[in-house]
Amino acid sequence: MKTAAARLQSADTRLIPSPAHPDGVPPRFHFLPGSDLVLSQYKGKPDVAIAVDCGSLKQLGPSVPLFNAAKTTVQIDHHDFGEPFCKIMVVDTEAAAVGEIIYGFLKVLRIKVTPAIATCLLTSIIVDTGSFRFSNVQSRTLQIASDLLKTGVDMKYLIEEAYWKRSLTTARLEAVSVMNMRFEMNGAVVWTVVKQSDFKKENGLIGDADGVTDALRSIEGVKIAALMRETGKGTYRVSLRSGLGINVARIAQVFGGGGHHNAAGCSIRATKKAREDLIRALCRIAA
């Protein structure tokens, strides 16, 4: 009988891009081994569908019918305010990143963690902990990172690629978002909008402005930062970040999204009214 590891490794694995990044793997993650396996289209019925780092079925967007067509559905997640939507649940809200959960899973399956696997898992941890700076970092996070480092993965390179390196497009979109930022509550709340026309002008994609919210949150005095990116479909994709003790996931949930205490997101209509409702809700919890 084949071991679980051998079965998994020989499986005809296809990866479907996240609806959060409909353009496929964001360019800054093209360095990840296997990023070229991500498909933008999939025909047929999958045997197994796995939702990773996805707090609700809604987050799968246009992939929902394909996902639900699978015989077996699996949810691997760490969101504080996620909703269960799969037959098999592998959820650990204490994990700083899904990379931690998958690492534990591979250990149980006795799958050898190769440098390529370690590169992806460590990147998951680096990204979800802001390079080991966020409050979700625990002893276990560092323990797993240490184990992954032992495979020979080059962490300096990963941090350089995933964290320090920004494309010129990203730098320009960050400049746009800083130029457009507005403060509320004596600077406790900052919000900004990046319009479709900005993305077009800078030849950028939604994912090119991923890091903006953290940059805004780092401004002295800011307790909550909100980035609203206008999608092509009349909505804003909202990213929220907050300081210690402020739960932005609660607000994201009210607006149909979800996430973690200090990092959450949702989608709202791209109207002044919807924007103001959101900002008002943010001001209430920042008070």
- Which positions lie near Mn ion, rule CB under 5 A? 53, 128
Structure-token pair, residue 265: 């997101």
Nearer to Mn ion, 195 or 261 (CB): 261
Owner of token pair 């996805």: 54
Nearest distance from C-beta of residue 18 to Mn ion, angstroms:
11
Instruction: Tell me the C-alpha distance between 247 and 259, whole Å.
Output: 10
CB of 128 to Mn ion, least distance (A): 5
C-alpha torsion 96→259→248→225, nearest 10 = 80
Tokens encoding 204: 């950028």
Residue 195 or residue 250: which is nearer to Mn ion going by CB?
Answer: 250
Rounded to a whole number of angstroms, the minimum distance from the CB of residue 80 to Mn ion is: 10
The nearer residue to Mn ion, 126 or 246, going by C-beta atoms, is: 126
Please list the alpha-helical segments (H only) found in 166-235.
Answer: 168-179, 196-201, 212-217
CA distance linking residue 8 with residue 41, whole number of Å: 22
The minimum distance between CB 225 and Mn ion, in angstroms, equals 18
Give the residue with the Cβ less far from Mn ion, 181 or 238.
238
Are 99 and 119 a contacting pair, CB within 8 Å? no
Point out the residue whose Cβ comes nearest to Mn ion.
53
Residue 217, classed as helix, strand or coil, is helix
Minimum distance of Mn ion from residue 63's CB (angstroms): 18
Instruction: Return the number of the residue (99 or 270) whose C-beta is nearest Mn ion.
Output: 99
